[in-house]
Structures are given as structure tokens and as C-alpha cells.
Structure 1
Amino acid sequence: MRPLIVFSDMTLDGFMAGPDNDLDFMADDPQLTSELTGELMSVADTIIWGRKSFGPSAAYWTTTEGDLAAWLNTTPKFVLSSDKSFDVSAWENSTLAAGDGADQVRQFKESTGGGLVVFGGVQTVRSLVAADLVDEYWLKLNPAIVGRGGSMFSEVGERRKLTLNSARSYPSGTVALVYSTHTG
């Protein structure tokens, strides 16, 4: 079964987006970006986006250069959306996965291939976390507190045990944490 990886920035108080869906808390750290995304590119061969984050991401990454941009632009992408007419043609190698997102991801996990990585918005990640589909959390814990915002864990109904695989600190004050889940 293919692992599902959530790759996300997070504030110290547990939010992946600020009160107005803002992301300005994210620390710029080229060393972290290079190391962590390099590792991610070696294990994931499919990307999952949420509908709301797809458009802005496509607009940015299709006009950006570098190793990460090249990987994002050439790697197969599935966009989760309940809207069957949502247009994903703005970004090459993108396919609409219409219907129930959790069901779609279950099917992806059962297919052959490498890791699946979710670069989704809060709602997408939250729904996959709530459905207990995540195998690994690759979190960039930023040195910021926002007080309120979007949490990926707000709909988890029960305690879940995680195993810390790695923890690294960076010059920006950001800490990269990789956790795996226990499924039984």
C-alpha cells in the first residue's frame, strides 16, 4: 500500500493557516527547503491537491524555476473536488479526482507506485486526517503563534499515537518533524 504523506507548515500553536487563511508566518529557510523537499522528491511520485489550493499553486509553480518547481510541474497531480466540472488544465500532469476525497485517496493508496504527498489546503488535509488516511506527517514547525486559524487536527475524534522518525532544527528557528502513524 502506498503511504500518504502530509507535507505542511505549522505554527507553534498548531495552525497550518492563520485567521484569514494567511500563510505569512512561514519562515524562509533555504536550507530546510532544500533538504526536506529533496527527501520528499525521492519518496513521493504523486501529489494530491485540494481544489482551493490548486489554482494559486498552479499559478505560482508554473512560472517558477528550480528543482522543486520542475518536480512539481512534472509529477502527476490529482485534485480532489466535489465539483465534477472543476478545470485542472492550468497545470500539466493534473487530473481531476471528483467525488468523495477520502474515497479517492483510499483508491490511490491501494494502487501501485511510490508515496503520495498532500499539498492541500486546510480543509483537504483536515478531511484526510479525520478519515485516518495519513501515514506520515512531515511538518515544518515555524517559530510563530497566530492564536487562531486552520488546524489539520480539529476533527480528530480520538487520540492517535505517533512515532517520531526525525527532528531537525534550522537557522530560521523552524523545526522539521517527521512522524509516522500507528495503524494497529
Structure 2
Amino acid sequence: MRPLIVFSDITVDGFMTGPDNDLGFMVQDDELSEELPRELMRVADTIIWGRTSFAPSAMYWTKAAGAVADWLNATPKIVLSSDSSIDVSAWPNSTLAAGDGVRHVRELKEAPGGGLVVFGGVTTVRSLVAADLVDEYWLKINPAVVGRGGSMFSGIAAGRTLTLRSARTFPSGTIAAIYSAR
């Protein structure tokens, strides 16, 4: 079975976004921004996006340069949406999976291939966490507290115990932590 990895920036108080979907808390750390994606490129061969986070990501990464941008642009992308009229053609190698996103991800996990990585958004990640499909959490813990916003863990039916696989600190104050959920 293919592993499902959530790769996300979060705040110290556990939010993926601040109030009004603000992402201003994210620390840009050049060393961290290159290191974690390079590790991810070795294990994941398919990227999963939610409809809301797909469009701004496509606008940015299709114009970006470098190894991370090259990998993101070349790697197959699955866009989960309940709306079947969404156009995903602006980003090469993107396919729309309309309807039940959890069902689509279950099917992807059963198919042959490497790891699956989901980058967002909050609603997509939350639905996959609630369905207990996530195998690993690759978290960039930013040195910020926002008090409220979008959390990947709100609304889960039961708590979960995670196992820390690795943790590294960076000069920016950011912590990169990888947790196993299985």
C-alpha cells in the first residue's frame, strides 16, 4: 500500500492557516525550503491538492525555477474537488478527481506506485486525517502562534498517538518534524 504523507507548514499552536486563511506566519528559510522537499522527492511520485489551494500553487510553481519547481511541475498531480467543472489544465500533469476525495485517495493508496503527498488545503487535509488515511506527517513548525485558523486535526472523532521519526531545528527557529501515524 502506498503511504500518504501530509506535508504542511503549521504554527506552534497547530494551525495550517491563520485567521482568514492568512499564511503570513510562514518563515522562509532557504536551507529548510530546499532540504525537506528534496527528501520528499525521493519518496513521493504523486501529489494531491485540494481545489482551493491548487490554483494559487499552480500560478506560483509554473513560473518558478529550480529543482523543487521542476519536480512539482513534472510530478503527476491529483486535484480533489466536489465540483467536476474545475479546470486544472493550467498546471501540467494535473488531473481532476471530482466527487468523493476520500474515496479517490483510498483508491490511489491501493494502486501501485510510490508515496502520495498532500500539500493542502485545510479542508482536504482535514478530511484525509478524519478518514485515518494519513501515514506520515511532515511538518514545518513555524515559530508563531496565531490563536485561531485552520487546523488539520479539528473535528477528528478520536485522538491519535504519533511516533516521532525525526526532528531538526533551523536558524530561523523553524522545526522540521516527521511523525509516523502507523
TM-score range, shorter chain: over 0.9
Q: How big is each residue's C-alpha offset from its partner over 1:95-139, in whole Å with a ceiling of 9 and x where there is no partner?
A: 001110100000000000000000111101011001100000000
TM-score (norm 2): 0.99
Superposition map of 1:1-184 within 5 A: 1-182=1-182
Q: Structure 1 stretches of 5 or more lacking a match? A: none
Q: How many residues align?
A: 182
CA RMSD of aligned residues (A): 0.6
Q: Structure 2 stretches of 5 or more lacking a match? A: none
- Matches of 1:112 and 1:102, distance apart in 2: 18
- Matches of 1:124 and 1:104, distance apart in 2: 12
Secondary structure (helix, strand or coil) at the match of 1:167 reads: strand
- Matches of 1:69 and 1:22, distance apart in 2: 23
Shift of 1:16: 0.4
- Matches of 2:35 and 2:59, distance apart in 1: 24
TM-score (norm 1): 0.98
Over the matched positions of the two proteins, sequence identity in percent amounts to 72
Shift of 1:156: 1.2
4+ residue segments displaced more than 2 Å: none
- Matches of 2:152 and 2:174, distance apart in 1: 19
Secondary structure (helix, strand or coil) at the match of 2:127 reads: helix
